[in-house]
Every structure is written in C-alpha cells, then in structure tokens.
C-alpha cells in the first residue's frame, strides 16, 4: 500500500506533477461542508470523513492517485435555520469552484478526475458539475458520494433506525469521528436534537472502522475502474452492444 505522502497533491513539488500525469494518475477532489453536526460532533465532520476515505482509497488503489486538499464549504442552506456555525455556498458558487479546480487539474495534464463528495447537500451540484465538465473539457470526470459506494455496510453495522445510509450526526457519523479524531467527540453530549437524524450514543470506534474501511475499499475499486478506461473520450450515449 502506498504511503500517505505518495498520494497527497499538497506534498508534491512543481517538478513532480508531470510524472504523475504521464502515468495516468487519477485525481480525487474531495468536497465537504462546514455545518452543524449536533451537540457532539465538530462542524467540519464531513470534511474529516471525506478526506480520510479519499486518502485511504488512494493508498489502496493499484495505480497512481493524487488527492487534492478538501474543498471545505458546500451547499448547507438547510442547516442555516440553526444558529450553529454553518457556512454555506450558493449552488452557482460551488459549480464555479468545481469548474475552475477541474480546469486547473486538466491544465497540468491529468485526464481523470473524481469529485468525491462528503456532504449530501452537495450531491446534485457535484453531479451537474461533473456532467458539464465531461463534455466541456473532454475528460473522464465523475462525481459520487463516498457512502453511496458501500451502502450495505450501514445495515451490517448500525443498530439504530438509520441503516440504509450514513445519516447526519448520528450513529454512523459519530462512529467515524471516534476513529478519525476521537478527541473531537463531546462524549457527554451524545444526544438527539433537531438537525440530527438519529442518536450518536450508539456510536463505537469499531463501527467507525468498518464503515471507513468499506468506504476506502470501494473508492479504491472505483479508482482502478477509472484508471482502466480512457482518460479522453467522446462522452455520449453508448449502444447496447457497447455496454456489454
């Protein structure tokens, strides 16, 4: 498995990028949010989770991968009703940021970009950006929520009412943060309050390890699939025969 330093865009010097591009490296652009996560979890929970999964997935992938710094702000308008530290962007702002980041990455010779999303409110915007950029830049650009790649793990791990997805600031997310940065969890405040989907009191580090490991493995598989396909191709509607 690669070292963490090997997959970090921010650790490269100016002369090192060309070699990664020549080897067909996939570039992951993680997208998060700064928004209320109840009483027990920090407002940058989504950033920590998507960064962890992106980096660990990149380390496990067979080929070269670079992970850019997390885009820390997202579409969190639905959390602004709580006076709780949320910072939100407009949809047009995030679209423009994603477009200009991808344009910069492509300008340095990279043909494969994964917009890896860590916040549900970004889903539609990230997907729309990837669609538009695939055609405009003529590159293989995809967008996905990291947890959507491994939904079965939640029914296997979680005991509460939310077992089909990651939820918000509840059992699954609290479990992940107990692994990534346990010192950030306010253990005396693991309560259900408005703006939280389920109780974080059910969280354990063991559950978090299983969720994050499944996420990283699924991201690694997707990265290998992207690396196996052409970086530059006409993106259209394939015939039935072409899909087989």
**Beta-bridge mates of residue 114:** 28, 142
CA distance 160 to 203: 10
Predicted confidence (pLDDT) per residue in 193-221, tens digit: 999 999 999 999 999 999 999 999 999 99
Gyration radius (Cα) of the chain, Å: 18
142 domain residue, yes or no: yes
Predicted confidence (pLDDT) per residue in 21-62, tens digit: 999 999 999 999 999 999 999 999 999 999 999 999 999 999
For the chain, the first-to-last Cα distance in angstroms comes to 32
**HSE on the CB side for 63, CA within 13 Å?**
20
196 domain residue, yes or no: no
CA distance 92 to 79: 18
For residue 83, what pLDDT band results from cuts at 50, 70 and 90? confident
Task: Tell me: pLDDT of 241 over 90.
Answer: no
Per-residue pLDDT at 244? 55
Predicted confidence (pLDDT) per residue in 169-191, tens digit: 999 999 999 999 999 999 999 99
Q: Residues with Cβ < 8 Å from 187, sequence gap 6 or more?
A: 40
* Tokens 């498995």 belong to residue: 1
88 domain residue, yes or no: yes
Predicted confidence (pLDDT) per residue in 119-152, tens digit: 999 999 999 999 999 999 999 999 999 999 999 9
Per-residue pLDDT at 94? 98
Per-residue pLDDT at 184? 98
17 domain residue, yes or no: yes
**Beta-bridge mates of residue 26:** 65, 112
Helices (H), 139-203: 152-157, 171-180
Question: pTM (2 decimals)?
Answer: 0.94
Please state the domain count of the chain: 1
77 domain residue, yes or no: yes
Mean pLDDT of the chain, nearest integer? 96
72 domain residue, yes or no: yes
H or E element at residue 65 = strand 65-67
Cβ atoms of residues 31 and 68 within 8 Å: no
Mean pLDDT of 84-94: 96
Which range marks the domain in which residue 100 is found?
Answer: 4-149+212-228
For residue 239, what pLDDT band results from cuts at 50, 70 and 90? confident
Cβ atoms of residues 60 and 6 within 8 Å: no
H or E element at residue 117 = strand 112-117
Per-residue pLDDT at 206? 98
47 domain residue, yes or no: yes
193 domain residue, yes or no: no
CA distance 138 to 163: 38
Greater pLDDT, 111 or 240: 111
Predicted confidence (pLDDT) per residue in 1-11, tens digit: 999 999 999 99
**HSE on the CB side for 58, CA within 13 Å?**
27
Instruction: Give me the CATH number covering residue 13.
Output: 3.40.50.10310
């Amino acid at each position: 498995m690669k070292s963490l330093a090997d997959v970090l865009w921010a650790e490269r010097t100016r002369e090192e990028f060309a070699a990664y591009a020549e080897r067909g490296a996939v570039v992951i652009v993680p997208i998060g949010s700064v928004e209320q996560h109840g009483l027990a979890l920090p407002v940058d929970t989504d950033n920590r989770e998507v960064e962890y999964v992106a980096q660990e997935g990149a380390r496990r992938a067979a080929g070269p991968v670079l992970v850019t710094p997390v885009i820390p702000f997202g579409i969190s308008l639905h959390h602004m009703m709580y006076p709780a530290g949320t910072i939100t962007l407009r949809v047009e702002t995030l679209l423009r940021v994603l477009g200009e980041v991808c344009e910069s990455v492509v300008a340095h010779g990279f043909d494969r970009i994964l917009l890896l999303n860590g916040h549900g409110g970004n889903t539609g915007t990230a997907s729309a950006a990837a669609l538009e950029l695939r055609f405009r830049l003529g590159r293989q650009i995809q967008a996905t929520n990291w947890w959507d790649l491994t939904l079965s793990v939640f029914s296997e791990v979680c005991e509460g009412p939310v077992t089909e997805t990651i939820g918000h600031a509840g059992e699954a997310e609290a479990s992940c943060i107990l692994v990534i940065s346990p010192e950030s969890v306010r253990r005396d405040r693991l309560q259900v309050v408005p703006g939280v989907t389920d109780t974080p009191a059910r969280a354990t580090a063991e559950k978090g390890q299983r969720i994050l490991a499944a996420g990283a493995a699924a991201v690694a598989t997707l990265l290998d699939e992207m690396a196996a396909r052409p970086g530059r191709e006409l993106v259209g509607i394939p015939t039935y025969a072409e899909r087989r």
